[in-house]
Amino acid sequence: MEKIKILLAEDHVVVRQGTRQLLEREKDLEVMGEAGDGEEAVRLASQLKPDVVIMDVAMPKLNGIEATKQIKALLPSTAVLILSGYDYDEYIFGLLEAGAAGYLLKDVSGDELIGAIRAVYAGEPVLHPVVARKLMTRVRSQVSTTAEAGPQEILTQRELEVLKLAAKGMSNKDIAEALNISVRTVQAHLRDIFNRLGVGSRSEAIVYGLKKGWFSLEDLP
């Protein structure tokens, strides 16, 4: 079984140890290393090249936002999953803009955290309900009422179909079934979408499409 390689970045040792013990009970998860501050997180990520980094926000030396930016610049394919005790707007939007694949609050259950790790590894976004509401509220206030360039100038018709289905909260598997294509093809389309739009996650791509008026908020779940 191929294991999902994980780096834990959390400055509270007890929390970090407890999270490690939780994750290591799962046969498909492997914790490669632990970082107690943002600088160490970036250094270990560059050395270990994990599939997923679980990142706290408020850390010594380098905060989670800047650490996420640096990790995504070094390792674009590594998914950064935020696990924070804070739902401040500046943290949420700063981290999503930095390329975080998901944002969870520390009130989630162990099963929810494990499911989120598997989801971001598969290229699917994960947002705590509180975070999702804040994101949608901000997007609603920023959606342009002026005419924007059509998506056909940037995306192919198939890529737009994939993005619209992603905006509805569908998984890669569900999108594949809806379009009668393979999951790998869906993943390839999403990578192309990210590259064309200059974003690093599905959440960013959806926000981009909303701001451009390519689809409406009614398309979201």
pLDDT of residue 69: 87
Same domain, 106 and 78: yes
Q: What is the pTM of this model?
A: 0.66
Residue finishing a domain among 75, 106, 136: 136
Which of 61, 101, 97 lies closest to 82, judged by CA? 101
Cβ atoms within 10 Å, residue 153: 7
Same domain, 169 and 101: no
Domains contained in the chain, number: 2
| Secondary structure of residue 6 in the 3-state scheme | strand
Residues 6+ apart with CB under 8 A from 142: 211
pLDDT of residue 145: 46
pLDDT of residue 32: 93
Same domain, 115 and 31: yes
Same domain, 128 and 188: no
Same domain, 178 and 69: no
CA distances from 110 to 18, 44, 122, 205 (A): 10, 24, 19, 28
How far apart CA 115 and CA 4 sit, in angstroms, is 12
**C-alpha torsion sign, points 146, 203, 135, 60:** negative
pLDDT of residue 217: 54
Same domain, 119 and 176: no
pLDDT of residue 139: 56
Same domain, 157 and 111: no
Same domain, 83 and 128: yes
How far apart CA 8 and CA 215 sit, in angstroms, is 36
Secondary-structure breakdown of the chain: helix, strand, coil percentages, each rounded to the nearest 5: 55, 15, 35
How far apart CA 66 and CA 39 sit, in angstroms, is 9
**C-alpha torsion sign, points 84, 99, 9, 3:** positive
pLDDT tens digits, residue range 60-114? 888 888 898 899 888 888 889 988 877 666 667 777 777 788 888 888 888 888 9
Same domain, 80 and 172: no
pLDDT of residue 48: 92
Residues in the chain: 221
How far apart CA 174 and CA 36 sit, in angstroms, is 38
CATH of the domain at 96: 3.40.50.2300
Name the phi and psi angles at 118, rounded to 5.
-65, -35
Residue finishing a domain among 136, 152, 174: 136
- Token pair 């674009």 is found at 76
Range of the structural domain that residue 159 is part of: 144-219
Query: Token pair for residue 58?
Result: 């408020």
pLDDT of residue 142: 54
Looking only at the bridges linking them, the beta strands covering 102-105 and 29-35 are unpaired
Same domain, 189 and 128: no
User: For the chain (length 221 residues), average pLDDT per consecutive 10?
Assistant: 88 89 90 91 93 89 87 88 76 74 83 88 72 59 50 79 81 87 89 82 76 63 50
